[in-house]
A and B are shown apart, each in its own frame.
Chain A
């Protein structure tokens, strides 16, 4: 069965303290992996798509990487405005319109 596991569930960082979030997946034939940011009371906001192992994408302080088993979202020198829940979703080749989401990592960056 297709499954996505995110860790840690919650992460507290001081402003400027870099760290990484993990998304491990089990899917039969990965087509793509998506990272989203979700603020309280809002819907998921699209950040990145990764399609193949070794691929990297960057946006401001965020960098996403992909291997055959997992993806990392690296946050460099975070600011309080980076505080949010970060969600990972995967799509399988056999049905690429159906996204499987992880439970998310709630990030809190203290000033």
Chain B
């Protein structure tokens, strides 16, 4: 079984530019989550999809972040415009059942210069 796949693994952009991160969950997992870890801090929740619907986006830091999950399959997280404080590692996870173990991808390391 293929795990959660994230692309790109690294991204370096300048402040003010736009970046889009992609996540492909485990096949058949309706639940998809985004988390991030900024320097020196713990991993923090951003949002949760069930299929194509946003269930909880309470962790999204501001309206520069936009997450979508077209057709309930893969998801994208767009940051526009990027700011210095957005640097960190963005993780995607998926689960078969709500509340069940979440399985993580290897993350996208985002650096804003």
Partners in one complex: yes
Total contacts A to B, CB within 8 angstroms? 57
Q: Tell me the smallest distance from the CB of A57 to a CB of chain B, in Å.
A: 12
A89 to B104, CA, bound (A): 13
A56 to B16, CA, bound (A): 49
A44:B45 contact, CB within 8 angstroms? no
A49:B101 contact, CB within 8 angstroms? yes
A10 to B13, CA, bound (A): 32
Binds B, one of A11-19, A60-68, A72-80, A97-105: A97-105
Q: Tell me the smallest distance from the CB of B97 to a CB of chain A, in Å.
A: 10
Residues of A within 8 Å of B103, CB to CB, are 46
A71 contacts the other chain (CB 8 A): no
B99 contacts the other chain (CB 8 A): yes
A43:B104 contact, CB within 8 angstroms? yes
The answer to whether A98 and B98 touch (CB under 8 A), given A43-B105, A46-B103, is: no
8 Å CB contacts to B: which residues of A72-96? 87, 89, 91, 95-96
Chain A residues with a Cβ closer than 8 Å to the other chain, count: 25
B102:A101 contact, CB within 8 angstroms? no
Q: Tell me the smallest distance from the CB of B90 to a CB of chain A, in Å.
A: 11
Q: Which residue of A lies closest to B9 (CB)?
A: A41
Q: Which residue of B lies closest to A49 (CB)?
A: B101
- The residues of A with any CB-CB pair to B shorter than 8 Å are 4, 31-32, 34, 36, 41-46, 49, 87, 89, 91, 95-104
Q: Which 5 A-B pairs have the closest CB atoms?
A: A43-B104, A96-B99, A101-B43, A43-B106, A44-B104
- The residues of B with any CB-CB pair to A shorter than 8 Å are 4, 6, 31, 33, 35, 41-45, 48, 55-56, 58-59, 91, 93, 98-107
Q: Offer 21 A-B interface pairs, CB within 8 angstroms, sorted by A.
A: A31-B99, A32-B99, A34-B101, A41-B106, A43-B93, A44-B91, A44-B104, A45-B104, A46-B101, A46-B102, A49-B100, A49-B101, A87-B43, A97-B31, A97-B48, A97-B55, A97-B56, A97-B98, A97-B99, A98-B48, A101-B42
